[in-house]
Structure formats: structure tokens, C-alpha cells
Amino acid sequence: MCLELYDHSGTKILVLSDNTRPLGFYSPEDGHRLHIIDLDPSSVTSGGWLDDTSQVEKYTISEEAFDKLDGTYRKYKGKFAHQKPTNQASKMSENFMEDLCTNIKIGDRCQVEPGEKRGVIKFVGRAEALGPGFWVGIQYDEPLGKHDGMVKGTRYFDCLPLHGAIMRPDKVKVGDYPERDPFDDEEI
């Protein structure tokens, strides 16, 4: 076999040709890649056997034989098939958590729990794409969010990318939460 060392950008640095030297002699760094080339023509790697999985014989089992096996997911799932499936969304009313939104106004400063993430309220209302009930859209002060105000193809508010989040109102506390200054905690 032939060993080659590549850097993080994919450029070949050198060929490790001295078999008496340990790998550390060549000083590989984090992000470097060791490429091994099999030079044996009778090896299983020749002809792309390991690269082309269509050449690998697949294990198959009949449905009848699989049904006889114990400990399968199908058997586990079958234990619960007789139970009535519950749909949490259908049990939730359209006004779910509306009462918690009465004191939340667009433009209010807030803090989201858990994590004490601070931001500004940008949306209060129903978000059909997320499920029934009321939701609160927040623009975080820092890029701690998941979107820019668009969720599942619906624009609820505008903000910078990765600054937006939509939460249930019970996770949002409105109050005098100033933007944090990263230098506030340092002593001078």
C-alpha cells in the first residue's frame, strides 16, 4: 500500500514512503487526512468493490420469517396497536394559552426561559403552521434563534437570520430586560 498525507484544503503534502518511521515522524496536524492506496491487484478493494455497494450481496428475509423473530420493532409496535392513538393537537383548543398573551405586546423587551435569552417581542397570536393555540415571536439580541421570522413557509415577523424564535407564551417573561453588554461582567 501507499500512504499519502493531505492538508485540510486537500493538497497532498507528502508520501509516507519510509516504512520504518512512525506516523508522528511526519508531523500530521489536526485536519490533515491520511489517504491509503491499496496497490495489491488481488485485494478486495480492487475494481471498486468497497465503493460500489450495488456489488455487495444484500441480506434478505421473507415476511413470514421476520414475523417469527422476537425483539423486532414490528412486534413492539404491535403491542400498542390496540390502544387508541392520541392526537395532542386535536385536544388543544384554538385559544390555548391566550390568557398568557394578555400582557405581552409587540415591542416589549423579554427574556426566554430556559437559557435567559433576551430579545424583543415581534409577534403575538396564532401560528397555524405550528399548531393550535397562541404563540409569541421573539427577535433575540444575539444569534441564538433558528430563523429570520419565517417558519414553515409563513412569515410571522422580520428579523436578522438566526435571531428569530417562536415560543409558547409560558416560556416568555416580559419586563425591563436591557440588552446585555458583554463587558458588564468584567472588572476594571
Please say if the pLDDT value at position 134 is more than 70: yes
Task: Band the pLDDT of 172: cuts 50, 70, 90.
Answer: very high
Half-sphere exposure for 95 (CA within 13 Å, toward CB): 3
Strand partners, 176: none
Q: What is the model's pLDDT at position 19?
A: 85
Q: What is the model's pLDDT at position 46?
A: 67
Q: Higher-confidence residue: 55 or 127? A: 127
Is the model's pTM score more than 0.85?
Answer: no
What would the grid cell of residue 132 be?
393550535
* Residue partners of 8: CB distance under 8 A and separation at least 6: 31, 32, 33
Q: What are the Cα distances from residue 48, in Å, to 10, 53, 69, 152?
A: 22, 9, 35, 42
pLDDT digits (tens, 9 = 90+) for 33-59: 999 888 887 777 666 666 777 777 888
pLDDT digits (tens, 9 = 90+) for 82-122: 666 555 545 778 888 888 888 899 999 999 988 889 999 99
Half-sphere exposure for 144 (CA within 13 Å, toward CB): 14
Q: In the predicted model, what is the mean pLDDT of residues 136-154?
A: 92
**What percent of the chain has a predicted confidence (pLDDT) above 70?**
87
